[in-house]
Chain A
Amino acid sequence: MPFVTADTQKRRYDVIIVGSGAGGGQSAYTLCMEGAKVLMLEAGRRYSVTEAPMFRTPELAPLRGAATPDKPFGFYDATVDGGWSVPGEPYVRDSEEDAGRFEWWRARMLGGRTNHWGRISLRNGPYDFKPYTRDGLGFDWPIGYEDVAPYYDKVEMLVGVYGSNEGLENTPDSPPGCLLPPPKRLVNDHLMAQRAGRLGLPVIPAHRAVLTQALDHRRIPAQLHPGNLRAQKILAEDMRARAPCLWATPCGLGCAVRANYQSTAVHLPPALKTGNLEIMTDAMVHEVTLGRDGRANGVHFIDRTTGKQEHAAARVVILAASACESARILLNSKSARFPDGLANSSGKVGRYIMDTVGSSVSGQIPLLESLPPLNEDGADGHAVYVPWWLYREQIAGKLGFARGYHIEYGGGKRMPDHGTGAGLEWLTGGSYGKKFKEDVRRYYGSFVGFDGRGEMIPNDQSFCEIDSTVKDKFGIPVLRFHWQWSDHELRQAAHMQATFGAIIEAMGGKTREPVKTDGALAIAPGGSIIHEVGGAIMGADPATSVTNRWNQTWDVDNVFINDGAVFASNADKNPTLTIMALAWRASDHILERLRRKEL
């Protein structure tokens, strides 16, 4: 039976996976396809992509679907029991000031945050694994691009990622057969590409985990699972069951036809098909338990349906609960051997939390006014993006900040919503009446938005620890966050603003508000980009890192951390694709060690 409870679970599994998102989903897929018996524990409720409210329109929702504290990304967003704040599951911030505030987004549902994410799927490049070597800041990873590249290939083929190969610096190409064709550009994409191109910026197809065409179910399964006919058959069938994009409805609602990546659409169905995966939802893991031999023997969890503490047992424990939640579990796993938390002999668990540097500018473009009716839903935006393009100037020390950013861009005649027609006075001079209706028609679809997504360098002031007093509704001690940006991030945010202002001007438009020259005002609060990684970084030295090159904790050899916690740096590239690639790589390693009876 694929879905189990504390009462119906088996006595022991090969592997327990805590968490069901990108890291947990990929780990379950890889392990189960190769025959390992896996129990996946998810703190939230069971969720199926068939719940996705596709095609539902704002007038059917409360408040026309507007964001509320209950649904911070809008009523139809595919987040269940989550947001910036989860009822009964508080966290503590060391500072409420903008500069030192950390926001922690969580979801409590099968598939976790992969159900609503932006699907942007970028590979880290060679520089991104060796940042210390390149500029003397932060930490090198104990692995390089060449170690992860084969797994990027596999993940792209499995989940389906559109994009192109451009041969640009530190922006890796994929081998043939990995990427799907990018979607057609919208009018505003063409304009942005033309005008930003004149400024010398490379505007290239975005990379997103959306099926612009059906996956090749005849070729890919054999490439991903050579010699494993059963896995090939399961995957081929599953690929046939995934429909290509319908070119409608936002990906963030979830996709009932499984045209984009969410763990519940891509990883879990074939993993369940193997018969090797059992899933327990409503299981809030809070502790990895140790046996007398000093190895992990399972996890303690609270059954949310009964409130009782339960135990599950396995030969190997994988934490993939999200970077901070995995760190929390380790820190709460105290024993005589590990008084400061499991696998924390280095004192580095919870340290070096990094988010992405974010800053945004929007503008209005007269050339895009009063265009004829166009269906501009596309693949839910992001047909193009701008990868970081100033590597040379940066390493020469000309920019005043050490790491780069990429530009995410959007515009077009998206479905009108409760914000349409709002805030137009700067263009209309305050029209109302028939003139206002004409103005809204004129300006509809003429707005563009730029979001910078940049690298943050790990620092000693950005970390989480267990709060000494506050507990959640289950009685589990909660995290306390500390946060601080360095000048590198603040200057980078100011650079984003200047760049976006220049592009909007080059497009013949004007910015909604003056661009900010003070990076401290331009930067989004820590955590708010929802790319938090670190907290159990990998390294080459057990004294200064939590895991080795295989996501395996130095201190306990059958505990692996297959989520963003192991990131030793947080490149501007969105972390999800790398989380999956590392999880696949670590899971291959676990399989090998299991076969050799070393775990």
Chain B
Amino acid sequence: MDRRTTLKWVLAASASWPLLGGSRVRAYSTPTQLGYGTDPDLAINYHPGELWPLTLTADERRLAASLSDLIIPADDRSPSASAAGVVDFIDEWISAPYPKFQIDRDIVKNGFGWLDAEAQRRFGRKFCDLEPAAQITLCDDICDEARAPAGLKEAAHFFARYRDLTAGGFYSTPIGRADLSYIGNTPLAKFEGPPPALLASLGLLPVGLK
């Protein structure tokens, strides 16, 4: 796909799907016959590819891994995005048979196309095969939609969306929860609330606490 087509796609998509929302997102569309249905089994463990086929090509998965790991690399607290299964998650997401996910599919697939084309144009190689410094040079231009130059707005929208998906895929795992030191989802006999010393340090002494 050529760059102009890619950008047209991304532009069209960007108008209709702003952010990867949390639980407040309301989906008003109608159930399809293709998804998991309105009464799925909630007690079994699902894995990407079981409910619908994954659709990224081997090359795209390689690109997905290198871009995800550029966004969430390993550090001293946690491993990289791809090590946490983010590529499978993104493949599942963009392959899902629901309209709003298919918008993401277009954004991601066309963004990949743009990224390789741009890497080829500027450095003569595919994105995956670039040195980290060159990859960063490319990403620095598109990492912030607000600051991206006019000609790169659509690519920046792709990058924002891809970063959202990478983050969502990473932090919704045990690895991601540990990275954020999430310590809930465990039964407690009592709920004590925050330590008074912490409240005091924030100027929030529990005066009038019921």
Contacts and interface: CB of A to CB of B under 8 A. Distances in A.
A57 B186 CA distance: 11
Interface in B125-177: 136, 139, 143-147, 160, 163-164, 167-174, 176-177
Contacts of B57: none
Nearest to A250: B23
Residue of B173, B209, B210 most packed against chain A (CB within 10 A): B210
A80 B181 contact: no
A374 B172 contact: no
Given A70-B37, A81-B38, A423-B164, A247 B173 contact: no
Contacts of B30: 69, 85, 87
Interface in B180-210: 180-188, 190-194, 198-199, 202-204, 206, 208-210
A420 B168 contact: yes
B75 A434 contact: yes
B194 A421 contact: no
Contact of B39 (A80, A184, A440): A80
Contacts of A85: 28-31
A437 B75 contact: yes
A236 B146 CA distance: 61
A187 B202 contact: yes
Contacts of A70: 31-32, 35-38, 40, 98
Interface residues of B, number: 84
Interface in B14-48: 19-32, 35-40, 42-43, 45-46
B69 to A, nearest CB: 9
A247 B191 contact: yes
Nearest to B160: A425
Interface in A55-75: 55-75
Nearest to B207: A194
Contacts of B85: 59
Contacts of A378: 191, 193
Contact of A440 (B29, B171, B194): B171
A63 B96 contact: yes
A430 B143 contact: yes
Contacts of A414: 184
A184 B31 contact: no
A184 B198 CA distance: 14
B144 A71 contact: no
A95 to B, nearest CB: 14
Nearest to B97: A68
Nearest to B132: A433
B20 A423 contact: yes
B198 A187 contact: yes
A247 B187 CA distance: 6
Contacts of B173: 58-59
A433 B40 CA distance: 37
A75 B42 contact: yes
A373 interface: yes
Q: Which label, helix, strand, loop or mixed, suits the secondary structure of the B interface?
A: loop
A588 B73 CA distance: 65
A9 interface: no
Contacts of B147: 429-430
B170 A421 contact: yes
B93 interface: yes
B72 interface: yes
A360 to B, nearest CB: 7
B188 A184 contact: no
A425 B145 contact: yes
Interface string A150-191: 000000000000001000000000000000011111110011
A312 to B, nearest CB: 25
Interface in A348-390: 360, 367, 371-379
Interface in A223-270: 245-249
A453 B176 CA distance: 34
Q: Which label, helix, strand, loop or mixed, suits the secondary structure of the A interface?
A: loop
B31 A69 contact: yes
A429 B20 CA distance: 18
Chain A contact residues (Cβ within 8 angstroms of B): what range? 35 or more
Nearest to B175: A59
A421 B168 contact: yes
A181 B191 CA distance: 12
Contacts of B179: 437, 440-441
A182 B39 contact: no
Nearest to A512: B19
Given A187-B202, A418-B20, A420-B172, A436 B42 contact: no
B70 interface: yes
B65 to A, nearest CB: 15
Contacts of B12: none
Nearest to B44: A60
Contacts of B24: 360, 449
Contacts of A183: 191, 193
A430 B159 CA distance: 9
Contacts of B27: 67-69, 72, 84
A83 interface: yes
Contacts of A103: 28
B39 to A, nearest CB: 5
A129 interface: no
A392 B51 CA distance: 57
Residue of A60, A75, A375, A440 most packed against chain B (CB within 10 A): A375
Given A73-B23, A84-B28, A433 B71 contact: yes
Residue of B19, B136, B163 most packed against chain A (CB within 10 A): B163
A347 interface: no
B184 A190 contact: no
Contact of B70 (A185, A422, A433, A528): A433
17 contacts: A45-B39, A68-B98, A83-B38, A184-B192, A191-B202, A373-B181, A374-B198, A378-B191, A378-B193, A413-B184, A415-B177, A419-B20, A422-B19, A423-B164, A425-B144, A425-B145, A528-B26
Interface of B: 19-32, 35-40, 42-43, 45-46, 51, 70-73, 75, 77-78, 85, 89, 92-93, 96, 98-99, 101, 136, 139, 143-147, 160, 163-164, 167-174, 176-177, 179-188, 190-194, 198-199, 202-204, 206, 208-210
